[in-house]
Amino acid sequence: MTELRKHVEELGLQDHVTVDKLDVLDARDIAAVSDSDFDTFVSNAAIGDCGPLAEIPVELVRRTFETNVFANLELTQRVIRTWVDAGTAGRIVIVSSMGGMLIAFGLGPYCATKHALEAIAATLRD
């Protein structure tokens, strides 16, 4: 955040761009941002537990899906509802990765969540 804030200042955009931290699993962070006035939302939250998919504990896979998919979707829906209710035109950017198009040994849970995000983003776009 520090580097991004510094870059925003260097560009002279500090009156137009707010850089803030948001943990998608932290109710306080979500409540704090819910009252903010913004028209661009970048969904970039992700974690990635690694290991052979046949051996990785399902609980770790669930946690990865909770963070990377469900929490992102829930927050994105909240943003959309807020904008629709207020008549705000906004832009949502959902950050995925190459893991959303490819697979890699040991990264099954991560890639699966990024595949899901690709589908969610395409569906929302349409």
CATH (domain of 67): 3.40.50.720
In a domain? residue 63? yes
Backbone angles phi, psi at 97, to 5 degrees: -165, 180
Identified catalytic residue from 61, 79, 110, 112? 110
What domain range includes position 80?
38-125
**pLDDT, tens digit, for every residue of 4-36?**
999 999 999 999 888 888 888 888 888 877 778
Q: Is residue 61 included in any domain, yes or no?
A: yes
6 in any annotated domain: no
Please choose, from the candidates 97, 77, 80, 100, the residue with its C-alpha nearest in 3D space to the C-alpha of residue 88. Answer: 80
Percent of the chain clearing pLDDT 70 (strictly above):
100
User: What is the spatial distance between Cα 97 and Cα 118, in angstroms, rounded to a whole number?
Assistant: 9
Q: 42: part of which helix (H) or strand (E)?
A: strand 40-43
Catalytic residue flag (residue 42): no
Side-chain-side CA neighbours of residue 24 (13 Å) = 24
Whole-model pTM?
A: 0.81
18 in any annotated domain: no
What's the domain count of the chain? 1
Cα 92 versus chain centre, distance:
10
